[in-house]
Structure 1
Amino acid sequence: MSEKTKKIAYWFFTLWLSLGMVSTAVVQLMKLPEEVEKINQLGYPTYFLTLLGVWKLLGVVAVLSPKFLLLKEWAYAGFFFAMSGAAFSHIVSRHPIGEIFPSLLLLALTVISWYLRPTNRRI
């Protein structure tokens, strides 16, 4: 893969990841009744929505920022833990694949974006 192709792929997956994280963060921060019901079904307290929403927004800022390389690594790690934890929670709760898939998609986007990041965005 050429450097130009790799850079285009990185930005494609990173922007898709960022859009997914921002959109889910906004929904979580709004505490829509469906989200409150889902988080409670998984056994987590409602205030966890605020925590996740704020972390996701801060993570997107870190991932898109051209500086703060160590913080960027932590943001990717946070996305990985949050999305793998969400997928696992849905699986253990025996939710249908339609409820598991968004977490798995964001998890895959996290890994792909992290893997494709340019050398100037690595430690």
Structure 2
Amino acid sequence: MKKRNKIIYWISTLWLALGMVSTGIVQLIKMEEEVDNFTTLGYPLYLMTILGICKMLGVVAVLVPKFPLIKEWAYAGFFFMMSGAIISHLASGDPSMELFGPALLLTLTAVSWYFRPSDRKIIAVQTK
């Protein structure tokens, strides 16, 4: 069971990292299709740079060992970015196919977070 959880963690985490890095690069280089997407959603283009940088930093935080508190913040950031993307697409009336990417990354975020090994979790200290 422990080995299965570790496999699930690493597969979901590596796919999450790949998805966040690739979409982050697309946002940082301001690829034409992504610029059109942001414009359609009504967001300012400088937000692409902010999100791209945050995605890159979040991937580093999730992949490097130690620093469990920073990992929690990275997972939270991924969760808010992807749920925000889903809500934005729904609110703008985009076709349901536009939800696939953010929904997949949101799912990978949740699976990676849930199955992370204990050495990547914050350990609560109980006081009397």
With the shorter chain as reference, the TM-score category is over 0.9
Indicate the residue corresponding to 2:73 in structure 1. 74
Indicate the residue corresponding to 2:107 in structure 1. 108
Question: CA shift at 1:12, angstroms?
Answer: 0.3
SS of residue matched to 1:95: coil
| Alpha-carbon displacement from aligned partner over 1:21-52 (angstroms, at most 9, x marks no partner) | 00000111110111111111111100100000
Indicate the residue corresponding to 1:23 in structure 2. 22
Indicate the residue corresponding to 2:125 in structure 1. none
Indicate the residue corresponding to 2:55 in structure 1. 56
Using the size of structure 1 for normalisation, the TM-score is: 0.97
Q: Which runs of 5+ in 1 are unaligned?
A: none
SS of residue matched to 2:43: coil
Question: CA shift at 1:67, angstroms?
Answer: 1.2
**1:82 is matched by which residue type in structure 2?**
M
Indicate the residue corresponding to 2:32 in structure 1. 33
Q: Distance in 1 between matches of 2:75 and 2:47?
A: 19
Indicate the residue corresponding to 1:42 in structure 2. 41
**1:87 is matched by which residue type in structure 2?**
I
Indicate the residue corresponding to 2:7 in structure 1. 8
Q: Give the alignment of 1:90-101 within 5 angstroms.
A: 90-101=89-100
Question: CA shift at 1:100, angstroms?
Answer: 1.1
Q: Distance in 2 between matches of 1:29 and 1:98?
A: 23
Q: How many residues align?
A: 122
**1:77 is matched by which residue type in structure 2?**
A
**2:94 is matched by which residue type in structure 1?**
H
**1:120 is matched by which residue type in structure 2?**
D
**1:103 is matched by which residue type in structure 2?**
P
Runs (4+) off by over 3 Å: none
Q: Which runs of 5+ in 2 are unaligned?
A: 123-128
Structure 1 vs Structure 2: percent identity of aligned residues? Answer: 61
Q: Distance in 2 between matches of 1:119 and 1:99?
A: 35
Using the size of structure 2 for normalisation, the TM-score is: 0.94
Larger Rg: 2
